[in-house]
């Protein structure tokens, strides 16, 4: 891998240059407490210190609502509305978010490539950014706190700038075309990089492993936790909307007032909504809130085999943004039997 350094005073010029490769999006402080990914019009708005955003980066490759095609029932014809997607640059993605995108790639591109997803994914340049965990983060338990691939450039914080890893052909092109902004890495930079990584590891509240969690979940469907926690759940869907890997959507045909023309759209859906499991005839595959609650835990802890990791990347968003204060990690630890509330199962 190619390593370079960019000094602090070059970081804003670097962001300016990035915006010449496409519309620039990055983390911005939107209130006292919250950050979100937004379009960057002034590079000074980029919030390098952010930990999590209100909406995940998936919104740039899976819009919350998108048109699929228009139809005409008189002629039985339809017209694609997919269109061109302008190039864009996603700046500041943390490692777990990048793994999240790779998981979405597996779902949307591997077997039956989804053209709506692909056209956006192909248009995006990904610039990663190192981070320090807060009390909600457990990407270390998911092994998603560091990425080897899935980015064009990745910036690691140093006391006087960033150590840059180049991860793709596009990444090489960017540094080659902007050589005046970069310099070689020296011994002190390497020491500082190691120091930052050590500090980052030590800051995680939970150490250990979530290996085999999937099986623990499958074996504990009678755990009292499911009643206790699903009782508190409001079914709001915040946990899935803020999750970097949740990707369920619904499809609807919207007719024009003439009843002849119309369009098909798709939009984010949530397995936590009662309507999600509802099918023709009124049957619901997940009738109760408890069914839906358990489904999310099982789904997020299933293995994504191509990456050898779970569908959950350990970002902690679902806990942080849950209005009912349901703690996903603590519940998993209880299921795993590594925290209080270890129970005797009835099998
Ligand atoms: S965010 Fe919390 S309350 Fe809302 S559906 Fe998810 S677990 Fe339930
Ligand atoms: S399940 Fe929760 S912790 Fe895991 S990736 Fe989704 S939002 Fe993050």
SS3 string, 290-311, reads: HHHHHHHHHHHHCEECCCCEEC
Q: Backbone phi, then psi, for 124, in 5-degree steps? A: -100, 140
The model's pTM is 0.93
| Nearest alpha carbon, ligand 1 atom 7 | 233
Residues in Cβ contact with 55 at an 8 Å cutoff, skipping those fewer than 6 apart: 36, 37, 241, 242
CA of 248 to the centre of ligand 2 (A): 14
pLDDT of residue 346: 41
SS3 45: helix
Q: Choose the residue to mutate in 54, 56, 136, 234 for probing ligand 1, maximizing ligand atoms within 8 Å of C-beta.
A: 234
Ligand at minimal distance from the CA of 297 is 2
What's the rounded Cα separation, in Å, for the pair 56 and 36?
Answer: 8
At residue 31, the pLDDT reads: 97
**Can you give the pLDDT at residue 306?**
79
Could you tell me if the CB of 271 is within 6 A of ligand 1?
A: no
Say what the pLDDT of residue 137 is: 96
How far does residue 206's CA lie from ligand 1's centre (Å)? 23
Whose CA is closest to atom 1 on ligand 2?
312
pLDDT at res. 221: 80
Return the DSSP state at 65.
Answer: E
Ligand 2 atom closest to 328 (CA): 2
Backbone φ and ψ of 46, nearest 5°? -65, 125
Neighbours of 49 (CB within 10 A): 11
Is the CB of 331 within 6 Å of ligand 1?
Answer: no
What sign does the dihedral 239-243-249-255 (CA atoms) show? positive
Q: Are 296 and 240 in contact (CB under 8 A)?
A: yes
CA distance 81 to 65: 13
- Distance, in Å, from the CA atom of 245 to the CA atom of 243, rounded to the nearest integer, reads 5
Q: Which two tokens stand for residue 147?
A: 């990425």
Contact 28, 59 (CB under 8 A): no
pLDDT at residue 82 in the model: 86
Q: Report the residue count for the chain.
A: 347
Q: Ligand 2 centroid vs 244 CA: distance in angstroms?
A: 7
CA of 235 to the centre of ligand 1 (A): 5
Output the pLDDT for position 339: 60
What pLDDT shows up at residue 84?
84
| pLDDT on residue 343 | 40
DSSP state of 324: T
pLDDT given for residue 244 in this prediction: 98
Cα of 91 vs centre of ligand 1, distance in Å, is: 29
* pLDDT < 70 positions in the chain: 338-347
Pocket probe mutation, ligand 1, options 290, 300, 321, 326, max atoms within 8 Å of Cβ: 326
The confidence score (pLDDT) of residue 338 equals 66
Residue ID of nearest Cα to ligand 2 atom 2: 318
CA atoms within 13 A on the CB side of 258: 8
For 241, the token pair is 């909307």
- Residue 342 has a pLDDT of 41
Which ligand is the nearest neighbour of the Cα of 314? Answer: 2
No. of helices (H) and no. of strands (E), the chain = 12, 14
What is the C-alpha separation between 312 and 116, in angstroms, rounded?
23
Q: How many CB atoms lie within 10 A of CB 178?
A: 16
The answer, yes or no, to whether any atom of ligand 1 lies below 6 A from the CB of 241, is: no
Q: Does residue 242's CB lie within 6 angstroms of at least one atom of ligand 1? A: no
- For tokens 């819009």, the residue is 63
Given this model, what pLDDT does residue 90 score? 98
In sequence order, the 6+-apart residues with CB closer than 8 A to the CB of 66 are 116, 265, 266, 267
Compute CA 132 distance to the chain's CA centroid, rounded to the nearest angstrom.
Answer: 17
């Amino acid at each position: 891998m190619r390593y370079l350094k960019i000094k602090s005073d070059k970081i804003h010029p670097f962001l300016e240059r990035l915006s010449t490769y496409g519309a620039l999006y990055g983390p911005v402080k939107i209130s006292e407490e919250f950050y979100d990914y937004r379009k960057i019009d002034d590079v000074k708005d980029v919030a390098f210190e952010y930990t999590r955003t209100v909406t995940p980066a998936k919104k740039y490759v899976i819009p919350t609502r998108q048109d699929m095609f228009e139809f005409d029932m008189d002629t039985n014809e339809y017209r694609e509305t997919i269109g061109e997607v302008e190039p864009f640059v996603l700046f500041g993605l943390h490692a777990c978010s990048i793994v999240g995108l790779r998981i979405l790639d597996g779902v949307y591109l591997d077997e039956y490539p989804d053209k709506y997803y692909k056209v956006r994914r192909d248009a995006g340049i990904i610039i990663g950014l190192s981070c320090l965990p807060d009390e909600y983060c457990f990407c270390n338990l998911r092994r998603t706190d560091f990425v080897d691939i899935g980015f064009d450039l990745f910036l690691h914080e140093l006391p006087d700038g960033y150590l840059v890893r180049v991860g793709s052909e596009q990444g090489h092109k960017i540094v080659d075309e902007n050589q005046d902004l970069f310099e070689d890495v020296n011994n002190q930079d390497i020491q500082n990089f190691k120091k930052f990584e050590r500090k980052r590891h030590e800051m995680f509240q939970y150490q250990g492993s979530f290996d085999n969690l999937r099986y623990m979940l499958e074996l504990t469907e009678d755990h009292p936790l499911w009643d206790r926690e699903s009782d508190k759940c409001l079914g709001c869907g915040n946990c899935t909307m803020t999750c970097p890997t949740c990707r369920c959507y619904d499809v609807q045909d919207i007719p024009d007032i003439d009843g002849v023309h119309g369009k098909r759209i798709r939009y984010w859906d949530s397995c936590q909504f009662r309507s999600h499991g509802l099918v023709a005839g009124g049957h619901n595959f997940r009738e109760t809130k408890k069914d839906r609650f358990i489904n999310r835990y099982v789904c997020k802890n299933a293995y994504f085999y191509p990456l050898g990791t779970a569908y959950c990347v350990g970002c902690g968003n679902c806990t942080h943004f849950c209005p009912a204060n349901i703690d996903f990690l603590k519940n998993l630890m209880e299921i795993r039997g590594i925290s209080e509330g270890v129970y005797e199962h009835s099998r």
